[in-house]
C-alpha cells in the first residue's frame, strides 16, 4: 500500500447453516435438485402460509456464534426486510434487524502479510470485532444460462428460497487485504469445525462481501466506502480488495471523488467494475415479523451449547506446540482441518512419538492422500496402523527408507504395517550377534582394506558398511552395522 495511506475494511459473510430442511418450512435444502422441486406454500410466499422456525437452525447458529466469539442474545426478533426482486416471492425477506440472534463478538485470528511469491511471513494474532450474526432466510436464484431462449426470458429457481443463513458482520477492523483473507478462512474453518455450515464457497453456501475505503494515516473519520460483491473465492476477494485500495488511493490523490457504489470483481480483466451506484441508503422499511414470536433461548440452552463445543483450532494450535513440542508451522498445518488434527492425535496415542508422527502425516501420508484426492477422514491407513508403522521404525525393526515403501503398500492395500513387513520380508536385522557374523565375513574377505583402515584410512568405514549392507541384502540396521564395525575394526 502506498506510504501515508491506510485501508479500512469491514466484512460481511453469509453462511448457509447445515440443516436438512429450510428455516421456516420442511422443504429439503439438498443441493442440485430439480429446479423448484424443493418448494411449498411457505417458501413460495403463497397467501395465508405461515412460517414456523426450525429448531435445528437455532442449535447450529448457537455453535456458529460461540465459535466466532459472539454473545448469544436471550431474545431476538425476526423482522421483514421489504424489497422487490424476482427471486423473492414474498416481496420481503424474513431477517433480523435491531435485535439479532448474537452480537458483540471478539474473535482472535492468526494473520500474516505475504511476500511477492504469496508466502506468509510472521504469523501474528489479531483481534477482530464481530458486530453481529443474525439469522435470515435466503432468496431464490435467477437463472440466466443453460435454458432455452435466455435472450428473451429469465428463469427463477426457488429451491434456495427459505434456506437458513447466518449473516456475520464485522467492525471495520481490517487494514490490509490479507487480514480480510485470513479472516474469511478462519471463519470458514471455524464453521466447518463445529458443524454449523459446510462453508463451501464453490457451492455458494458461504458468500462474502467487503466494504472498502481508504484514508490518510492518522485521519479519524472514514471516507466514502465501496461495497464489493460477487467474490466467488477467498482469493478473488483478496485481489478485489487489493485492487480497490489502489484504485481509491489514486482517485483521492488525483482529486477525484470516490463514489458510494457497489462494485463487482471482474475475474477476466483483474479489476473491479461498477454494478450500481448507491445514491441513498437502502430503505427496507423493516418491521417485526407478525407471524413469528420473538426467539427466546434459555440460559440452560446457551450453557449446554457451550458445554458441547469442541476444542477450537486456535487453542488446539497452542496445545499442539506446548504438549507435543511441534513447531508453529507443523501445528498450523495439522489444525487446518479437524479430521487431520484428530488423525494426528490418534496416531500419537499409538506411536508415542509426536514429532515423527507429525513428519509422517504431513509428509508421506499427505502426499499419498493428495495423489488420491482424499482427505484424512478417507485415509485407507488408520491412525492406529500409522502409529504401529512408526513404532516399527523407532524400535529399529524396519528402516526409514523401508517404511516409505511399507506406507505406500499400506495405502494401496489397506493392510496393516505388520502384514506388509512380513509379506515383503522387510524386517530389518538389528540383532548384534547376527550382524556380527556378517561383519566377520566381510572383514575376512577384505584383508587389504582392513590393513589400510587400521593404518589410518578411516574413510574406508563407508566401504565396509556398504559391503555389510550388500551381504545382508539391505536388511541390516545401518546404525547397528556402524557400531559393530567400529568395534571389530578397532579391536
Ligand atoms: Zn418450503
Query: Alpha-carbon distance 172 to 167, whole Å?
Result: 16
Q: What per-residue confidence (pLDDT) applies to 270?
A: 92
Q: Which residues contact 8 (CB under 8 A, 6 or more apart)?
A: 172, 174, 175, 212, 213, 214, 215, 222, 223, 225
Lowest-pLDDT range, 163-167, 252-256, 297-301, 393-397? 393-397
- At 291-341, the pLDDT tens digits run 999 999 999 999 999 999 999 999 999 999 999 999 999 999 999 999 999
Q: What's the gap in Å between 27 CA and the centre of ligand 1?
A: 4
Q: What percent of the chain has pLDDT over 90?
A: 82
Q: What's the gap in Å between 22 CA and the centre of ligand 1?
A: 7
CA-based diameter of the chain, in Å?
104
- At 429-438, the pLDDT tens digits run 888 898 999 9
> Alpha carbon 212 to chain centroid distance?
24
**Is the pLDDT confidence value at 281 over 70?**
no
Q: What's the gap in Å between 38 CA and the centre of ligand 1?
A: 7
Q: What's the gap in Å between 91 CA and the centre of ligand 1?
A: 16
Q: What per-residue confidence (pLDDT) applies to 476?
A: 86
Question: What is the pLDDT averaged over residues 184-207?
Answer: 94
- At 122-163, the pLDDT tens digits run 899 999 999 999 999 999 999 888 889 988 998 999 999 999
Q: What's the gap in Å between 455 CA and the centre of ligand 1?
A: 91
- At 48-75, the pLDDT tens digits run 999 999 999 999 999 999 999 999 999 9
Strand partners, 16: 165
Q: Which helix (H) or strand (E) holds 114?
A: strand 102-114
Q: What's the gap in Å between 138 CA and the centre of ligand 1?
A: 12
- Mean pLDDT score of the chain, rounded to an integer? 94
Amino acid at each position: 500500500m502506498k506510504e501515508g495511506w491506510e485501508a479500512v475494511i469491514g466484512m460481511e459473510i453469509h453462511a448457509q447453516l447445515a440443516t436438512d430442511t429450510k428455516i421456516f418450512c420442511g422443504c429439503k435444502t439438498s443441493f442440485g435438485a430439480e429446479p423448484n422441486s424443493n418448494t411449498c406454500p411457505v417458501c413460495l410466499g403463497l397467501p395465508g402460509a405461515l412460517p414456523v422456525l426450525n429448531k435445528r437452525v437455532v442449535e447450529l447458529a448457537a455453535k456458529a456464534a460461540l465459535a466466532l466469539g459472539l454473545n448469544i442474545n436471550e431474545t431476538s426478533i425476526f423482522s421483514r426486510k421489504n424489497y422487490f426482486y424476482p427471486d423473492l416471492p414474498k416481496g420481503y425477506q424474513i431477517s433480523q434487524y435491531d435485535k439479532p440472534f448474537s452480537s458483540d463478538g471478539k474473535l482472535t485470528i492468526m494473520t500474516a502479510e505475504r511476500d511477492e511469491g504469496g508466502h506468509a511471513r510472521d504469523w501474528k494474532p489479531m483481534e477482530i470485532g464481530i458486530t453481529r450474526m443474525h439469522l435470515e432466510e435466503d432468496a431464490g436464484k435467477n437463472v440466466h444460462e443453460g435454458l432455452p431462449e435466455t435472450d428473451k426470458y429469465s428463469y427463477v429457481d426457488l429451491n434456495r428460497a427459505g434456506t437458513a443463513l447466518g449473516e456475520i458482520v464485522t467492525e471495520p477492523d481490517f487494514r490490509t487485504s490479507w487480514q480480510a483473507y485470513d479472516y474469511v478462512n478462519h471463519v470458514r474453518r471455524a464453521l466447518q469445525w463445529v458443524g454449523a455450515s459446510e462453508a463451501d464457497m464453490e457451492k455458494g453456501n458461504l458468500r462474502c462481501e467487503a466494504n472498502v475505503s481508504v484514508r490518510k494515516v492518522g485521519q479519524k473519520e472514514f471516507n466514502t466506502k465501496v461495497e464489493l460483491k460477487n467474490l466467488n473465492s477467498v482469493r478473488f476477494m483478496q485481489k478485489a480488495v487489493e485492487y480497490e485500495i489502489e484504485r481509491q488511493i489514486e482517485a483521492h490523490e488525483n482529486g477525484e471523488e470516490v463514489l458510494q457504489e457497489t462494485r463487482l470483481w471482474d475475474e477476466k480483466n483483474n479489476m473491479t467494475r461498477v454494478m450500481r451506484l448507491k445514491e441513498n441508503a437502502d430503505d427496507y422499511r423493516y418491521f417485526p415479523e407478525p407471524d413469528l414470536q420473538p426467539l427466546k433461548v434459555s440460559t440452560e440452552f446457551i450453557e449446554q451449547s457451550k458445554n458441547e463445543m469442541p476444542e477450537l483450532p486456535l487453542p488446539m494450535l497452542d496445545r499442539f506446540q506446548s504438549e507435543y513440542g511441534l513447531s508453529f508451522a507443523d501445528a498450523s498445518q495439522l489444525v487446518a482441518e479437524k479430521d487431520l488434527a484428530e488423525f494426528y492425535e490418534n496416531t500419537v496415542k499409538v506411536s508415542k512419538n509426536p514429532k515423527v508422527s507429525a513428519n509422517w502425516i504431513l509428509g508421506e501420508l499427505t502426499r499419498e492422500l493428495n495423489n488420491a484426492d482424499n482427505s484424512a477422514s478417507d485415509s485407507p491407513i488408520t491412525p492406529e496402523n500409522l502409529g504401529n508403522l512408526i513404532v516399527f521404525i523407532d524400535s529399529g525393526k524396519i528402516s526409514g527408507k523401508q517404511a516409505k515403501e511399507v506406507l505406500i503398500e499400506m495405502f494401496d492395500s489397506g493392510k496393516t504395517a505388520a502384514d506388509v513387513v512380513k509379506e515383503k520380508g522387510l524386517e530389518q536385522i538389528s540383532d548384534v550377534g547376527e550382524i556380527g557374523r556378517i561383519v566377520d565375513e566381510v572383514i575376512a574377505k577384505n584383508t587389504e582394506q582392513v590393513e589400510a583402515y587400521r593404518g589410518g584410512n578411516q574413510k574406508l568405514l563407508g566401504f565396509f558398511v556398504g559391503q555389510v549392507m550388500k551381504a545382508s541384502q539391505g536388511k541390516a540396521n545401518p546404525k547397528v552395522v556402524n557400531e559393530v564395525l567400529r568395534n571389530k575394526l578397532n579391536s
